[in-house]
Amino acid sequence: MNKPFEPVAFAGLSAKLSARTAVTGVIGLGYVGLPLAAACAAKGYPTVGFDLARDKVEQLNTGRSYIDAVPSAHLDSLVKASRFTATADFSKLGACDVIVICVPTPLSAHREPDLGFVTATAETIAAHLRPGQLVVLESTTFPGTTREIVKPILEATGLRSGIDFFLGFSPEREDPGNREFSTVSIPKIVAGDGPEATSAIEAFYATVVTNVVTVSSVDVAEATKITENVFRAVNIALVNELKIVFDQMGIDVWEVIEAAKTKPFGFMPFYPGPGLGGHCIPIDPFYLTWKSIEYGVPTRFIELAGEINAGMPRYVLGKLEEALDRRHGISLSTAKILVLGLAYKKNVSDIRESPALRMMDILDKRGTQVDYHDPHVAIVPPTREHAGLAGRRSVPLCAETLSGYDAVVVITDHEAVDYSLVCSGARLVVDTRNVFAKAGLAGGNIVKA
């Protein structure tokens, strides 16, 4: 027989949230978790960051940040004020009143959702779950994950969602390098598993961010984030395809987009590139594609967009190969190439799913001697899919360095790069970001791709 509803757990949590004495635990101290933990600590919550990487934990506890969005000076002030501490000891979850899950949700080798980090984290939380805790999943995933996967793991303890503990979903919306929006200023979608959980998650995030948007269910909240990323993936695929078509017609797609966006309605500019990067857009749409199989509904549009975007590194490679042969009579197997930009987007150090890694891997296999320069990435860290690139170091960018390469391929348009130097010093430049035209630079050595 079920126990009668006991409002004690909810009342205790509400009182702690109101007083901002609720101990907040953030699991996963990466590009999502660390900025969130810093925001919670800055708003007055005693905050504990959890991560398996002990080197990260040690670094954070000395006030040194490895995430651009959290300056070391700010982190150091939170550490010294005892507002934030990091730990690899997950038994401390029992002392947390709010637990936020910010772990990766990658794809498997077969392009299927890999929820291993989410399930392992939920099981760890379950081992320390107690009445009065709020558990929030922020990791991007398919609709149904919170209800169908996280909730049963937590309820296997005998505690009940909505009565003993409170469960919710709030999708992360981080945009590394965005100078206009931050964790605090980006509107926060929230949803709870039941009215008490909804009230608790609203109360928590309302004290951390400036704008909370509540939706009717955790499934809707999960679908919202997937929709945002599908929207971007599909539109980027469209302009990538237009780039290929217009190139054959001798038309500059960037000029077309600049002209089209003068229309004050009915058009939103997206820009082509060498392929998608980051943790979200190359991965998240496939979570929906996988889940849709359960309902017998094909997602042809999403899958086609994925094919187009995934093919862009090879398109750029083809343009490079053609230009080398036509202009200098050099094959890729004998060429020396400099990749300019390793990060997946400009002005950040984030290399997750970067097309530059894919490009370097392809060039390696073709026998090309390939190096890279990136003012934000001094050394290639270990990655699961590009293990052979780990340890390579960014080469200096100077006239002498440029003269030693047969071609420079611009993958990431960092603002800290001297493009006039590249334009004047490189024998051949393959520009995938239109940086030289935007900078007013021109030359017969520049090829757009």
Q: State the catalytic residues.
A: 280
Reported as half-sphere exposure (CB side, CA atoms, 13 A), residue 93 has a value of 26
Reported as half-sphere exposure (CB side, CA atoms, 13 A), residue 14 has a value of 10
Using an 8 Å Cβ cutoff, are 119 and 101 in contact?
no
Q: Could you give the CA distance from residue 47 to residue 362 in angstroms, rounded to a whole number?
A: 43
Query: Could you write out the DSSP letters of every residue in 233-249?
Result: HHHHHHHHHHHHHHHHT
Token representation of residue 238:
């469209």
**Torsion (CA) 6, 7, 8, 12 in degrees, nearest 10:** 150
Task: Return the H-helix or E-strand segment holding 287.
Answer: helix 284-293
CB atoms within 10 A of CB 8: 12
Q: What percent of the chain is helix, strand and coil (3-state, nearest 5)?
A: 40, 15, 45
Q: Where are the alpha helices (DSSP H) in 140-217?
A: 145, 151-155, 195-206
Using an 8 Å Cβ cutoff, are 136 and 201 in contact?
yes
Using an 8 Å Cβ cutoff, are 102 and 26 in contact?
yes
Question: Which residues sit opposite 369 in a β-bridge?
Answer: 336
Q: Residue 144: which of 219, 85, 75 has the closest Cα? A: 219
Q: Could you give the CA distance from residue 390 to residue 375 in angstroms, rounded to a whole number?
A: 17
CB atoms within 10 A of CB 230: 22
- Please give the backbone phi and psi of residue 346, each rounded to the nearest 5 degrees, phi first: -70, 150
Using an 8 Å Cβ cutoff, are 202 and 209 in contact?
no
Q: First CA to last CA across the chain, in angstroms?
A: 67
Q: Residue 320: which of 267, 283, 360 has the closest Cα? A: 360
The beta-strand segments (E) located in 45-165 are 47-50, 84-87, 98-101, 134-137
Return all residues near 292 (Cβ < 8 A) that are at least 6 apart.
298, 299
